[in-house]
Structure formats: C-alpha cells, structure tokens
Structure 1
Amino acid sequence: MLHDKIVVLTGGADGIGWECAKAYARAGANVCILDKNPIPVSRLNELQAKQKIAITCNLINEAEVAAAMTTIIEKFGRIDAIHNNAGIAHPSKTLDQTSDQEWDLLMNINVKSILYTTRHTLAHLKESQGCILNTSSLTATIGQDNHAAYVATKGAINALTKAMALDYAPYKIRVNAVSPAAINTPTLQSWSKEQPDQEQMQHYLDNLQPLGNMPAGDVIADACTFLLSDAARFITGTILPVSGGAELGYRTII
C-alpha cells in the first residue's frame, strides 16, 4: 500500500508511533522516525523496511526540525507523507489547576510541532502531492474530565486538520487525522497512574469500547496505513475515529 513511499513519523519510538512505524514498513514504505528519545540500532533494525532512519529531534525546537528534514531530503530525495504523532498527555488536571508551564509544554509538543513539521516539509509535499496525518484523540470530540489542557490540544488538532485540508487541497495534498479512544500505550498507562483509583480506571478503560477490551496500537496503525495510502486518495479533512465505538450511545459501564 505504501510501496517506496518516504514517510516521516514523529513520536515513533514507542506506543502508537512504533506500531505505525512497523505497519508502514510492512506496507513497503521507507520510514523516517523523529523522536526526542534515541532509538537503538538493534530496535530500528526490527523494522521490515528497505530503508529506515531514526533522528533524535526535539520537535519544539524549529532549528532541529528543519535540520532533520534536510537530512531526510539528502538521504531520500523527497518526502511523500508526514505523520504528526508526537504528543504528551500529562498532566491530568482541571484547567484552573494547570500551570502555565504545563499548558505551554502541551501546546508546544502536541500542536506547535505540527506548525514546524508542516513549514519544513510543505515544499516537498507539493512536489510529491503527498499527505499529512495528525494523531488526535476521541477526547477532542466528547471531552474528558480532569484533563483540560490535553483535550484542548486535541481539539486544536481537529480544527487544524480541517483548515490545513482546505489550504493544501489546491496542491493535491491530503490532510487527515486519526482519533483513538483507549489504546494500551505507555502514555495511557502513565496517565492512568495519575488517577485516584487506578484499579477502577483500568476497568473503565477496558470496558469503554463496545468492540472489546482496550487494544494495542496496531489497530490505529492499520487505519493510519490506509489514510496514507492511495486507497484513501479522495479522503481529506477527515477525523477518523478508531475507537471500537466508544463514542456511541448511552451505556452503563459496570
């Protein structure tokens, strides 16, 4: 589905990002991972990609993002897709309890990083008539208590995705977002530990989705692979829920 495509993936070192990296490689893409955490060569070699590269990059430092994209262009000659997946979920707080520093860090990593990656890949995406994919969250649609700043960043991503889709459609660049519910990742496990009753929270997360218990990130990776592929060539501005039906109807979670 992604044969010989050059896919840039932010936040690809673990969780949903790593599952996407593996899925893109299996689909035939050349995978370029940008992450604040270094990826050991042994782990990178697990990817079944013809070519792959991992660049340690602070995504809220524009100079580092620009340098990373230059490195990718020098190595591969083009960019076909950028998946803005990097994000943080801490802290678990109401808005009034959120500090300025916490607010700024969430906004910078979850939202402003998309500004930087777009700014430094757009010319290449115009040439390839490529696509942009953003990782959102179902919380942006239905809200979530005790998590105000995070929810705000994901709401911003949804609105931004639609605006970008309109702005870049004349260049045949598609822009979409994927919207997970509860996915078993290190980020979600860390968030769960911030809750007053961890056991109750785990039960809630496992029963949130009508289709079954909390899945791993591979279910998101499969949807992302589709959205980056030519099979989705006439889809843009879409916020695709991959949620197991978590947003549907009034349900009692016992």
Structure 2
Amino acid sequence: MAERKTIVGGNWKMNTNRAEASDLAGAVSEGFTNGDQADVFVCPPFPYLIPVAERLSANNGNLVQLGAQNFYHEPNGAFTGEVSLAMLQDLGVSTVLTGHSERRHVIGETDVLINEKTLAALEAGLQVVLCIGETLEQREAGKTNFVNAAQLSYGLAGVTAEQMADVVIAYEPVWAIGTGKTATPEDAQKAHQFIREVLTHGMFNETVGQSVRIQYGGSMKPANAKELLSQPDIDGGLIGGAALKADDFLAIVNAG
C-alpha cells in the first residue's frame, strides 16, 4: 500500500467576520509547525481571503495553505458575482473545493458544472478537493456505492492519470451531517475502500488508486478523529464545524 500523507482541510463555510477569520488563521498557523506530519489548508469566506492569507504568510511561511470554497470555471468575463481562478491564485490560493454537498444540494450545481470546474482548476495548476457522497434517501435505498461511483465518474471525466496527483477526494456522507445519524468508522472505511477500488480498477490504475488521498467529510471531531484516521483508507478530513475553533482543528490534525 502506498504511503499517503495525511491531509486536513478546514472549510469555514459562511462563518466568521474579518477579525475572527484573521485570529483563527493566526491561531491555526501558529499551532501547526510540523509540515512533515500533514498537509493542512483552510478555506475562509471570500471577503476574508486577503487577511487570512496575510496571517498564514506571517506564521511559518504558509505552512498552512490557503484554500477557496468556490470559483467559476471561465477565465474572465460577464459573470456577475463570480470569482475566477486567476483572481484566487493572485491572492495565494493553492487548493479549491469542487462538488461540495452544499453546492450540489443547496445551490444546485450539476455534475457537468462540477466537472468543468474540476478540469479548469487542474489546468490552472491548483490542487482540487472533489467532494462526493450520498444523501440519507440514497443510502436507505441502497445506492451508496452507485452514487459515489457516479459522482467520481462525472467529476473526474477527462482528468488524466497525471493530473490525479493534484486531486484529493473528500467523501461526505450527507446523511450523517445534521441528521442525528452517525457514520461509524466502519461505515466510513467501507465507503473509502470502495472509492479507492473504483479509482484503481474502474477509472485509472493501481498507482493512481493507491496514491490518491481520500478525506472523510462527515462531522469529524477531536473525539472521533483518531479512530477515523486510523482506518486504512481514510487519509485525512475535510472539517466544517470543528474547523472554527483552532484548538479543535489542531487536535484533529494531531490525531493523524
């Protein structure tokens, strides 16, 4: 099995104000000092990318990488309200999210758009975290593997084996987020193992399948991080709520 470096990302979603974002970035970057231990990135809201970038740069030389929650796939033009990859790169962004469950199910992004965005970000030289995962209804209908395979296939259409070096997969069991239901480490591992098998045997090859890192995005917290991260096919976490408290986020990073 390939040795895969842990990768932990903080998705701040639509939270924080300018001062809170700057302070959180400062606390995270001051607390994370071992770049050999893990790759770490944070995705603040768009208005706070600049102050967060400044804080990350000031501490440990950008050891904590700057990520963006969203972007538009066209290089420029009449796209009111959108943000381009070049704009994000101008601010120091190195990682972007695509296919997040909230973009799919709340905003209504389609598989086609998610693929266009994934391809554009890879072409621009950014690391892409492609999020996939099933809803409660889909899980209860026994469609977990079908949904994950389909979202992988659509999202990565046209992506080369070489480009997969810049792709991270984040498995988000939508049914386990805010529903009161819990994904066990065994549930999570089973899904991650299936995703790796699809990448290895269905889409790419052994080299790609064994080297791609798969994050868990289903409410990872300090209390369950160690058990989740000890699973053989779970390579990190995409953290929501716990990423808004530096101590909790760093505890998850250190759990790996």
- TM class, shorter-chain normalised? 0.3 to 0.5
Give me the TM-score of the superposition, normalised by structure 2.
0.40
Give me the TM-score of the superposition, normalised by structure 1.
0.40
